[in-house]
Structure 1
């Protein structure tokens, strides 16, 4: 069953196939020396993003959880190689911008990216050597209270930051993490309910995937949409054992990642509220 609220089977089959083609073509390109060496780091970074995007595309299509593409360690190899190329380019060419991406956690786009990777890493239970590489790439120890706490559930020595870098929407998730067990379910639902809307920023600071699937900005026929999944909520549930029962069936909550044996927690938007919403949707109005 398709998990994403948008797109039919043909759309998702094409998206998965095209993403594999993109990955394969990039790998072939990387086997030959770059003509424009000063753009190598940026090209590698784009290739890095292809891997978790494919995982979420397969999730949207409805693939069994056990058969989802594990983006590790390829995403780690590509990110590390991109960093090495960036250092080389800075030494040799000294361009003003080696990569367009801002590699700082106080930039929402990078924070969201790192949180997604941490969530997927916890779901896939990646080996310790891969986890250590991921945490080293993320860096930012002691900068953000929430992300630090999630990482610290597997890396006990990680320093915990004293502030939250992005209060919208993440203050709601931190509140759920810090709440009493009997309050966690409605507070987590509150975070998921507001997550997408509160990620909105001015046009030049909006997260790269935010408008994918928007009929007025980036309609479905463009093929960019791969779902809008709140992997951050899954990361917190996996890390802290939060009660996610009120989130099951939510259009943004990828709850099947935590239930690999099924059945699916999702219902298509056209099928009405469904049994999951009638059973679990008892939280306070948002």
Structure 2
């Protein structure tokens, strides 16, 4: 699927980022919406590319796909597109990054490479922001099944892994080692004391984190972007992801600048809180079922392994496996929109 462009009239009413200019959003979104299918077609018809530098061309084209996909999500969130639509697009963006990883490795193996291997995303550079988006969007859109793929992409040729990224992924990857190094330092290192704090102290600490977030982000690529063209928006995605993971009461800071509360609200609608597991009727419950398990509730179900296409299953049926899918394990989710 592809996201849609918001009209200027709708954007003026529903935009989330006051600094965003419609012409910038329109240009970035239109470029991605129209350009991504063309780039995909070019990659799929690679046999028609000139043999000279073909591995380089495929690497650069697939890298563009990943970057444009992430830009489309964050610009569209700032413009007011519903979180549910953004979530439905995320599997496509993960697929773009998988495609890039494949073509990047092929380039490294080719004679076009000078033997100098570099990461898919270099975590000590500004590319950290893209890595953080991938991890946070997977959590906030209720699709943690992408995290093993993402963390493998981030591990490639990076000498060190990052403490924050490891901690964010750790609830779903319990066997993964957690780094003690914050590769980008501020503002992210300030989250350490929130992870370590008592439950009752976390709301105040997170509120303080958000108050200091912009000033502490001076070395990050999004800082001061509102002063130039093509401003994606100021969003502390990591604050939102930590709020969801630690189940922090955000009532004292949900209306603060930089806090993407709509993503947090959506995420909380997707996961089953520990004290509600087994209660299939809860409005806050997202039913999740792995292939081979028994369907717990009749309805329309979808899976990233099935390109998010909905299928009806009755309670008591065995949930099927989608063979040879790019995601590995087949995980089904109940569509609660009906």
TM-score normalised by the chain length of structure 2: 0.64
Change (3 A) 1:32 1:197: farther
Q: Contact 1:145–1:162 at 8 Å: present in 2 too?
A: yes
Q: What is the alpha-carbon distance in structure 2 between the residues aligned to residue 156 and residue 51 of structure 1?
A: 28
Q: CA-to-partner distance for each residue in 1:236-266, whole Å, 9 max, x for gaps?
A: 112111233333223311111122399xxxx
Deviation larger for 51-60 or 68-77: 68-77
Greater helix content? 1
Q: What is the alpha-carbon distance in structure 1 between the residues aligned to residue 111 and residue 246 of structure 2?
A: 46
Change (3 A) 1:47 1:196: farther
Q: Partner of 1:246 in structure 2?
A: 252
Q: Partner of 1:21 in structure 2?
A: 34
Q: What is the alpha-carbon distance in structure 2 between the residues aligned to residue 226 and residue 96 of structure 1?
A: 35
Deviation larger for 145-154 or 108-117: 108-117
Q: Contact 1:141–1:160 at 8 Å: present in 2 too?
A: no
1:212 aligns with 2:231: no
How far is 1:196 from its partner? 2.9
| Paired residues for 1:150-161 under 5 Å | 150-161=168-179
How far is 1:113 from its partner? 2.1
Q: Contact 1:2–1:8 at 8 Å: present in 2 too?
A: no
How far is 1:184 from its partner? 1.2
Q: What is the alpha-carbon distance in structure 2 between the residues aligned to residue 11 and residue 158 of structure 1?
A: 40
Change (3 A) 1:183 1:120: same
How far is 1:69 from its partner? 5.0
How far is 1:110 from its partner? 3.2
Q: What is the alpha-carbon distance in structure 1 between the residues aligned to residue 27 and residue 182 of structure 2?
A: 39
How far is 1:45 from its partner? 1.1
Q: Contact 1:172–1:190 at 8 Å: present in 2 too?
A: no
1:111 aligns with 2:124: no
Equivalent of residue 107 in structure 2, options 72, 89, 96: 89
Change (3 A) 1:119 1:141: farther
What's the Cα RMSD here? 2.9
Unaligned runs of 5+ in 1: 263-286
Change (3 A) 1:230 1:84: same
Q: Partner of 2:147 in structure 1?
A: 131
Q: Partner of 1:196 in structure 2?
A: 214
Structure with higher RCO (Cα < 8 A, 6+ apart): 1
Q: What is the alpha-carbon distance in structure 2 between the residues aligned to residue 29 and residue 89 of structure 1?
A: 17
Q: Partner of 1:175 in structure 2?
A: 193
Structure 1: which 4+ aligned runs deviate by more than 6 Å?
A: 96-99
| Paired residues for 1:13-92 under 5 Å | 13=26, 15-33=28-46, 34-35=49-50, 36-37=53-54, 38-68=56-86, 70-90=88-108, 91-92=110-111
Change (3 A) 1:123 1:149: same
Q: What is the alpha-carbon distance in structure 2 between the residues aligned to residue 102 and residue 225 of structure 1?
A: 24
Change (3 A) 1:199 1:71: farther
Unaligned runs of 5+ in 2: 1-13, 269-338
Q: What is the alpha-carbon distance in structure 1 between the residues aligned to residue 258 and residue 20 of structure 2?
A: 15
Q: What is the alpha-carbon distance in structure 1 between the residues aligned to residue 203 and residue 211 of structure 2?
A: 12
- Report the secondary structure of 1:117's partner residue: helix
TM-score normalised by the chain length of structure 1: 0.74
- Report the secondary structure of 2:90's partner residue: coil
1:121 aligns with 2:138: yes
Alignment length (residue pairs): 247
Q: What is the alpha-carbon distance in structure 2 between the residues aligned to residue 141 and residue 187 of structure 1?
A: 31
How far is 1:191 from its partner? 1.9
